[in-house]
Amino acid sequence: MELHRLVFSFFNADVASRYWLDIVYGMWVTTYLALAVVVAGLGLGLGLALARAFQFKPANVLIVIFADAFRALPPLVVIIVLFFAFPYVDLAMSAFTATWLSLSLVLAAFAEEIFWAGILSVPRGQTEAARSTGMSRAQALVYVVLPQAVRLTIPPLTNRMIAITKNTALGSVVAVHEIIYHASSGASEAGNPTPLTLGAIAYLILFLPVVIFSRWVETRFAWKR
Amino acid sequence: MDQVIQVFFNGAILERAWPFLVRGVGMTALLSLVIVPIGLAGGLAVAMLYHLHVKWLNRMLMAYVDFFRAFPPLVLMLFIYGGLPFLGVDLPLFGTVALAFLLNTSSYYGEIFRAGLESVPTGQVEAARSTGLSRWQTMLWVILPQATRNVLPDLVGNTLEVIKLTTLASVVGFTELLNNARNVQALTYNATPVVAAALIYLIALWPLVRLVSRLEHKSIAVR
C-alpha cells in the first residue's frame, strides 16, 4: 500500500475543493435538524414526565406505552415508516419533517423515562413539606421537586442527546440534504472517497466538542452519595 | 379506514412478504449474535487496559472512545464500506458491517465497563491481594463480578441499542429485516411489509425495554 494512493483516494485536494462547500451546507442542515430535535424531544419528554407525576391512571398507561414503543423501535424504522408508508394514506411529509418527527419522538420517549426517574428519586417528604406550606400540587412539582430532579438527569440526558442527534445522519436514507447525503453523493459522483473523508471530518468538528463537553458534565453533575 | 387496512395491514401482501421477513429476522438475529459478543469483548478490553492506569495509554484509549462516540455509526459504516475497496481491501459485506459495529459498540461498552471497574472500592483489591490472589485472579474473581453487577442496567441498555443499530446495515444492502421489508414494499407498492417489520421489532424488543426499565429503577431505589 503506497502512501501516494492513500492520499489520492482519501485526501484528494482537487476533489475536496469541488465538494467542501456542499459539506459545509450539510453541516448547517445537520446542526439545524439536531437543534430542532433536541428542543422538541426534550420539551415533549419533560411534558410527559410532568403529566405522569399527576398519577392519572389512563394517561399514565398511554405515556408508558408511548415511551416503551419508541425505545423499542429502531429510529431508522420509524423514519422509514413515516416517510415511505404514510404517503400511501395521503399523509406525505417532507424527508426533513419525517426525520425531525421520528428523532423527536424517540428522544421524547427516552427523556420522559429519564425525567421520570429523576422525579422519583426526590424523597416524598419534599413534596409533603412543600404541600404543607400551602403550595398546590403543580407548584410543589415545578418549584420543589423538579429543580432537585433535574440535576440527576443531566448526565444521562446529555448522553442520550448526543446519541440521538448523531442519528440525524439517518436522514440521508430518505435524502435529507445533511452532511452524509452530500458526502456520499459527492463520493459516487467523483468516483473518489474524499468527500466521505470531508463528511467524517465535518461530524468530528460538530460532535467532538459535544462529547468532550459531556465528559465535563459527567464529572460536574456526578451523583454524590 | 378500509384504505388504511388495505395499505398498512394487507393480508395478501403480508403472505407474500412473510418468507422474506422471516429470513430477515434470521439475519438480524445472526448479526446481533455476532456483534454483541465482540462489542462486549472489545469494550472489556478497552476498560481493562484503562484500568492499568498507564498515562499515555489512557490518553490514547480516551481518544479512541471519544472519537467513535462522536462519529455517527452510519457514517462509519459508509466510510468503511465505500473506502476499504480503494485501499485494495476486499472484505465480505458481513465483515464490513461487523467491523463498523465493533469500532462503534466497543467504545460504548468500554465506557460502561470503565465506570463499573471504577465503582469497585480499592479495599476490595487490597483484601483480595492480601489473601494471596494474583492481580489477574483479583481482577477475574473479585473486581469484574462486582463491576459488572454495578453497571448491569447500562450493559443491558446498550445491548438493546446495539440490536437496534443492526438496521443501519440495510443501508449498505445487508439483507436483514429492514432491508428485506423495504425491498418487498418497493415490489408490491404497499406499506404492509414495512409496518409488519416495525411490529416485529416492537414485539421482539419490548421485553428488553421492560427489563432495562426494571433494572434502572432498581438501581435508583438502591441509592
CB pair distance less than 8 Å for B171 and A173: yes
Q: What are phi and psi of B53, to 5 degrees?
A: 55, 50
Per-residue pLDDT, B43: 95
CB pair distance less than 8 Å for B209 and A76: no
Q: How far is A218 from chain B (nearest CA, A)?
A: 11
**B92-131 residues touching A, CB cutoff 8 A:** none
For residue A73, the chain B residue with the least C-alpha distance is: B202
> What ipTM does the predicted assembly reach?
0.88
Q: Which domain holds residue B128?
A: 2-222
CB A112 within 8 A of CB A48: yes
Q: How far is B202 from chain A (nearest CA, A)?
A: 6
Judge whether B72 is closer than 8 Å to chain A, CB to CB.
yes
Longest dimension (CA), chain A: 77
Residues in chain B with pLDDT values less than 50: none
Q: How far is A118 from chain B (nearest CA, A)?
A: 9
Count of the separate structural domains present in chain B: 1
A80 vs B contacts (CB less than 8 Å) = 178, 182, 194
For residue B159, the chain A residue with the least C-alpha distance is: A72
* Alpha-carbon gap, residue A189 to A193, rounded angstroms: 10
CB pair distance less than 8 Å for B164 and A74: yes
Per-residue pLDDT, A225: 42
CB A78 within 8 A of CB A98: no
CB A119 within 8 A of CB A146: yes
Q: What is the DSSP letter of A82?
A: I
* Alpha-carbon gap, residue B101 to B93, rounded angstroms: 12
The helix (run of H) or strand (run of E) holding residue A137 is helix A137-139
CATH of domain A25-179: 1.10.3720.10
pTM for this predicted structure: 0.89
- pLDDT tens-digit series, residues A76-92: 999 999 998 888 777 88
CB pair distance less than 8 Å for A85 and B8: yes
CB A166 within 8 A of CB A106: no
CB-closest option in B72, B166, B178 to A166: B72
Q: How far is A116 from chain B (nearest CA, A)?
A: 10
CB pair distance less than 8 Å for B164 and A172: no
CB-closest option in B4, B87, B185 to A89: B4
Q: Which of A41, A42, A38, A45 is nearest to A63 (CA)?
A: A45
Here the CATH number for the domain that contains residue B212 is 1.10.3720.10
Residues in chain A with pLDDT values less than 70: 1-2, 222-225
- pLDDT tens-digit series, residues B12-56: 888 888 999 999 999 999 999 999 999 999 999 999 999 888 999
Residue with C-alpha cell 416495525? B198
Interface test with A, best of B75, B214, B220 (most A CBs within 10 A): B75
Write out the DSSP string of chain B.
-HHHHHHHS-HHHHHHHHHHHHHHHHHHHHHHHHHHHHHHHHHHHHHHHHHT--HHHHHHHHHHHHHHHHS-HHHHHHHHHHHGGGGT----HHHHHHHHHHHHHHHHHHHHHHHHHHTS-HHHHHHHHHTT--HHHIIIIIIHHHHHHHTHHHHHHHHHHHHHHGGGGGGGT--SHHHHHHHHHHHHT-SHHHHHHHHHHHHHHHHHHHHHHHHHHHHHHH-
CB pair distance less than 8 Å for A80 and B7: no
CB pair distance less than 8 Å for B206 and A68: yes
Per-residue pLDDT, B10: 84
Q: How far is B70 from chain A (nearest CA, A)?
A: 5
- pLDDT tens-digit series, residues B106-121: 999 999 999 999 999 9
